[in-house]
Amino acid sequence: MNSPPTAISFDPQRYLMPDIVHLICEQAHATYGMRRVLCVLARTSRLFHEPALSYVWSELKDMVPLVGCLPEDVWSSRRGAFGSRDIKIEREILPSEISRVLFYGRFIKKLEVPTVVIPHIEGYILVLLANALQGRMLLPNIEDLVWEPGHDYEFPIIHAYLGPNIRRLKISLFGMHGSDLSNRLPYLYAWKLPESYPSLESFKIDNGCSDELAVINIVSHVVCGWAHLQVLSVSNLTPDAFEYIAALPDLRQLTLNDMANVSPLPSQPPISQNGIFPTLRDLNIVYKHPDIGIRLLQTTVCASLTHLKINCPCDAEHGNDILEVICNHRAAHSTLQFLMVYSSETPSVNGPPFIQSHITPATLNTQSLRGLFVFTNLSSVHLEIASGFDLDDAGIEEMARAWPRLESLWLRTGAARPHQRPRLTLRALVILARECPALAKLGIGYLDATMDALNAARSFAGDHPVANKHVYSIDIRRSPIDDIQQVGLFLCTVFTGLEVMFQGVGMVSWSRERSSMDLPTDTEDD
């Protein structure tokens, strides 16, 4: 007999009325669509007024709400192009006119200054407001700033929108019309951000696809001024800066999103056993030269990674090398949850390539994939390597049993030779439904879905197949299919929540809504 649940005693010293009010506002803020409730509470309840305001104003996606706090003759609203509502700044802002802006500004913890904002603000609002401050602090409690102003003349005044509590900063070196990097780059050095805000924990910078050494040098100089970084996202680093961040005690997320052909590694890379990247959990790298990626991954083999994302040009040989060095991350065998290896070029399989490619049309075999089975807690796997994996249904079954916790799977698969029927069939999808009950996203790039394969899959599934309720869509692009309607009907018996099926990139080939056939439904509770 089950014992009754333990009663939770109410502690009046812990849950005073202000605490309860705060908890209610916190819950409303965290619930989608509840912002209106907070606004009503702020307007109608003296008790809730300031706590609710603090959440309503805590995160701003643009400057529009602050413009609304200015006197009505400072700005006007009008219909712009295509019927959108635009805001025009009509005159200068006097220092005596920003009291309401300062009142609400103290609640703001996150502010985004995007390149493009709707409604569009016509005028120099960022500059005019900064000038009206006259030394006063606009955002004393700001913790998170996204600085992507559309015009170069706005870019230099970042300090007016920062505060002593800033922890996360994202900067874009590009404006509304693709600014020249040289217009903004010098300010990164002139601002002396590490000296003014030494406690920064997250720094992200977008400089597009530029591999200019000047950009890498200045960004690296800035990065080396922070000792408490936990999150870093830059295009590339100098070797000295790479060694510096590898030794940071708190760095848990690193993105090098455009190394191209410029290696950030010193001639003698740091040895992984010597305590480098001690807390790294999330690694995202983009490169063009194979040696850069392999050597960089070798420096992180002692990190207990949970997320690993790699984007590179990748033939079969480099694909095997990548998988081998990934498998050497022994500290991550029980921690890795997300794995993505994406080849940035698409090879030809049974036809012309979708994107011009220089990748040799060789596939990887099951043995190449089998090495990854040591990662026992994977929940998301996305592998688009070279021409894919030449798998059969038995290989998929082995994979599914190795990764029973899978929630998301995308595999690029292919034939061993052009114009050869794929060895992978619809039976593989039935196996995945059986072995991976939590699976919710599914894509297999190339499998046999002809009538022969469909009949074999029906026989294998039986009259009462094990049903997966979570998969909403299935992507089987480039797969040979004789009767898409029959395939959709069958898959709905295996994946009872299935609504759409894709056979091409972004193209819905079948949907439950469009189907004129009666499809089975599952009315049981999850």
79: which strand partners? Answer: 85
Predicted local distance difference test score (pLDDT) of residue 315: 82
Has residue 43 been placed in a domain? yes
What pLDDT is attached to residue 82? 64
pLDDT digits (tens, 9 = 90+) for 225-243: 999 999 999 999 999 999 9
pLDDT of the residue at 325: 94
Q: Tell me the β-bridge partners of 408.
A: 380, 441
| 8 Å CB contact between 214 and 185 | yes
> Would you state the pLDDT for residue 47?
83
The rounded distance, in Å, linking the Cα atoms of 510 and 485 is 7
393: in domain: no
Within a domain: residue 44? yes
The CA–CA distances, whole Å, from 319 to 26, 324, 400 equal 47, 9, 21
The number of distinct structural domains making up the chain is 1
Peptide bond into 114 cis (omega under 30): no
Residue 477, pLDDT score: 83
- Residue that is written with structure tokens 């996202």 in the block: 233
Q: Please tell me the predicted confidence (pLDDT) of residue 34.
A: 81
Domain contains 48: yes
How many angstroms separate the CA atoms of 104 and 100, rounded?
6
Q: Is 51 within a domain? A: yes
Count of all residues that appear for the chain in the document: 526
Report CA Rg, the chain. Answer: 28
- In this structure, is residue 525 part of a structural domain? no
- For the chain, the farthest-separated pair of C-alpha atoms sits apart, in whole angstroms, at 79
Q: Is residue 52 part of a domain?
A: yes
**pTM for this model (two decimals):** 0.86
Domain coverage including residue 39: 30-58
Which residues are CB-contacts of 381 (< 8 A; sequence separation ≥ 6)?
339, 340, 372, 403, 406, 408, 409, 410, 411
Both structure tokens of 526? 């999850």
Instruction: Please say whether the beta carbons of 429 and 474 come within 8 A.
Output: yes
Task: Burial-class residue 522 by CB neighbours within 10 Å (0-12, 13-18, 19+).
Answer: middle
Structural domain contains residue 38: yes
| Whether the Cβ atoms of residue 25 and residue 51 lie closer than 8 Å to each other | yes
Question: Which segments in the chain show pLDDT lower than 70?
Answer: 1-16, 80-83, 177-179, 208-211, 271-274, 344-362, 414-421, 505-508, 516-526
Residue 178: predicted pLDDT: 62
